[in-house]
């Protein structure tokens, strides 16, 4: 059974994607930036953006019947190499015990205010 999960963001409809897709025991969470979707604002700091990414991801996972502890793969995209040491402790708070397979890439993102984007894949624990 396939379930589509939305944050209600206008980006989802415009770009034609879901925040997450649940397929069986898997949940695939789209790349998630640091927007506060309640106010549709983007904080300035990479720390606040990272926390917003993780909160949005956790909410999408929960809506799909998953938890952060189910995450088996994470991709982190940052726009400046110097952000790595800044976000590592925040990511460690969220994933330190879970320890998913992970990759961090330095790249440009879609909007100049975006400093980090995170996507995850989760598998329901048996």
- Give the three-state DSSP class for 54: helix
Q: Are 115 and 79 in contact (CB under 8 A)?
A: yes
DSSP-derived pairing of the beta strands 71-78 and 116-123: antiparallel
Tens of pLDDT, residue by residue, the chain (126 residues): 899 999 887 778 898 999 999 999 999 999 999 998 888 899 999 999 999 999 999 999 999 999 999 999 999 999 999 999 999 999 999 999 999 999 999 999 999 999 999 999 999 987
Query: For 42, phi and psi rounded to 5 degrees?
Result: -115, 120
C-alpha 125/C-alpha 40 separation (Å) is: 33
């Amino acid at each position: 059974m396939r379930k589509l999960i939305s944050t209600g963001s206008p980006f989802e409809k415009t770009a034609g994607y879901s925040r997450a897709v649940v397929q069986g025991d898997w949940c695939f969470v789209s790349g998630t930036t640091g927007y506060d979707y309640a106010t549709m604002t983007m904080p300035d700091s990479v720390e606040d953006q990272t926390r917003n990414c993780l909160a949005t991801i956790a909410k999408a996972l929960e809506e799909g019947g998953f938890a952060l502890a189910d995450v088996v793969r994470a991709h982190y995209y940052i726009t400046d190499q110097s952000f790595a040491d800044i976000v590592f402790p925040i990511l460690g708070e969220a994933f330190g015990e879970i320890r998913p397979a992970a990759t961090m890439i330095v790249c440009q993102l879609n909007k100049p205010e975006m400093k980090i984007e995170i996507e995850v894949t989760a598998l329901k624990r048996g």
